[in-house]
Amino acid sequence: MPYASEAASNKPQNFNEIYDISVPLNKAPIYPGDRQFSQEWMERMDKGDGYNLSALSLGSHAGTHLDFPAHLLEGGKRQEEYHPGSFIMPAEVVCVPGDGPVLPGSLPESWTESGQALLFKTGNSRRNLMHQASFSDDFISLSVQATRLCVAREVRLVGIDYISVDEYGDNSLPVHRTLLENDILILEGIDLAAVPCGRYTLICLPLKIEGAEASPVRAVLIR
């Protein structure tokens, strides 16, 4: 949601709009086989404890998250091999009409710079799928052809508005593989429902966990 209307004192300098494209970890759908998110209360003030204290249990692909090459590739890069600046970049939110997979024709025709992120706003956002706790197996994914075009255009990160860039049921994960083999980060589980198509700066910082093959992020778009 945009925070543009918040009091000026709360608004960071130089940005007119900030869109939070992350989803609540405790309400996001979970990919079949992944760990359920849980927050266990160890101390509770409403039970007479002196403070509130909780412990979290979650998969590294929970909610809005980044996939690193080590997710699929032997010896692939892990979280700590990226400079924090790798997670801050110009981004384009691309509106994709229709109910089928993202095709090459959906990519923007004009292209001014390499090293951008492309975030696909599809029917998943129109159906609000990231806000439904139950998993939907008919989500819109990327075609391999569109993925190859992303590689050719030297995109730095590809994002999609559900929890996988690959079609459900294709365990060979051709889209993941094509992106990660070309060192293109994958941002999954973003919520673009309220975000107009267009250009932004993307910030999606992973948790600092050495060896991580993926990590939840707090992702925002600013402009």
Taking the complex as a whole, the smallest distance from the CB of residue 62 to Zn ion amounts, in Å, to: 9
Contact set for Zn ion, span 162-191 (CB under 5 A) = 188
Closer residue to Zn ion (CB): 18 or 217: 217
At 222, phi and psi to the nearest 5? -130, 155
Nearer to Zn ion, 92 or 188 (CB): 188
71 carries an active-site annotation: yes
- Can you tell me the distance from the alpha carbon of 179 to that of 53, in angstroms, rounded to the nearest whole number? 39
- Residue 61 within binding range of Zn ion, rule CB under 5 A: yes
Distance in Å, CB of 213 to Zn ion, minimum = 9
Q: Which stretch binds Zn ion (CB under 5 A): 13-21, 53-61, 98-106, 192-200?
A: 53-61
Q: Where are the alpha helices (DSSP H) in the chain?
A: 123-126, 144-152, 174-181
Rule CB under 5 A: is residue 127 a binding residue for Zn ion? Answer: no
Min dist. Cβ of residue 214 to Zn ion (A) = 5
Q: How far is CA 2 from the centre of its chain?
A: 17
Instruction: Quickly count: other Cβ atoms within 10 Å of residue 70's Cβ.
Output: 18
Shortest CB 151 distance to Zn ion, Å: 19
Q: What is the DSSP string of 82-147?
A: S-GGGGEEEEEEEE--SSS-B-GGGS-S----SS-EEEEE-HHHHTTGGG-SS--TT---B-HHHH
Which of these is catalytic: 65, 71, 83, 131?
71
Phi, then psi, of 120 in degrees rounded to 5: -95, 120
Tell me whether residue 18 or residue 191 sits nearer to Zn ion (CB atom): 191
H/E stretch holding 55: strand 53-57
The β-bridge partners of 67 are 186, 214
The nearest distance, CB 144 to Zn ion, in angstroms, is: 18
Per CB under 5 A, the segment of 22-30, 55-63, 121-129, 151-159 that binds Zn ion is 55-63
- Confirm or reject binding of residue 67 to Zn ion (CB under 5 A): yes
Total residues at interface with Zn ion (CB under 5 A): 3
Q: Which residues are catalytic?
A: 71
Residues in contact with Zn ion by CB under 5 A are 61, 67, 188
